[in-house]
């Protein structure tokens, strides 16, 4: 009789433990989901700045920033004193962004593939489509990649 009593108490104790674990897990999952939704909401509203480096396997100092605003529009800013995008010639662009690749032979647009490392989101690869004028200066660009919902061409003026 004593054995059955012990078995019954142990079984009830196990059931109570399992139900509390289940409730705790459900709470943790819901708490994580709530925290994630708050973080996602904050991330969606804030602009993001990405330091841009050529996509190579070596650490080069960044000479440009890629800004993605809360609406998913990307803008490039040079970090070179007294230079703006209108001053960016093809040779300097290659020095900043790395190898230039043609999309198609019949297309005047070329592309840089750049690696960015955002402190909160880690590494990402962006594609910067560019068109240079006859004097080999940047005339327009478009950025495609993670978080960019509006990859629009931007005239350089």
Contact partners, residue 102, CB within 8 Å, separation at least 6:
110, 111
Does the pLDDT of residue 150 top 70, yes or no?
Answer: yes
Tell me which of 13-27, 44-58, 82-96 is least confident.
Answer: 13-27
Helix (H) or strand (E) holding 50: strand 48-54
> What would the mean pLDDT of 118-143 be, rounded to a whole number?
88
pLDDT tens-digit profile of 102-129?
A: 877 777 788 988 877 777 777 888 899 9
pLDDT tens-digit profile of 18-39?
A: 444 444 444 455 544 545 554 5
Domain coordinates of the chain in residue numbers?
1-45, 47-155
């Amino acid at each position: 009789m004593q054995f059955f009593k012990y078995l019954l108490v142990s079984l009830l104790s196990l059931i109570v433990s399992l139900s509390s674990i289940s409730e705790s897990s459900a709470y943790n999952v819901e708490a994580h989901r709530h925290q994630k939704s708050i973080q996602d909401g904050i991330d969606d509203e804030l602009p993001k700045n990405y330091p841009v480096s050529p996509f190579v396997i070596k650490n080069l100092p960044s000479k440009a920033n890629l800004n993605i605003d809360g609406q998913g529009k990307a803008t490039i800013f040079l970090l070179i004193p007294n230079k703006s995008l209108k001053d960016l010639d093809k040779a300097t662009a290659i020095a900043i962004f790395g190898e230039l690749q043609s999309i198609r032979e019949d297309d005047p647009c070329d592309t840089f593939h750049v690696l960015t490392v955002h402190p909160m989101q880690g590494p990402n690869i962006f594609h910067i489509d560019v068109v240079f004028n006859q004097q080999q200066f940047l005339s327009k660009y478009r950025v495609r990649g993670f978080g960019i919902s509006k990859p629009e061409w931007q005239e350089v003026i």
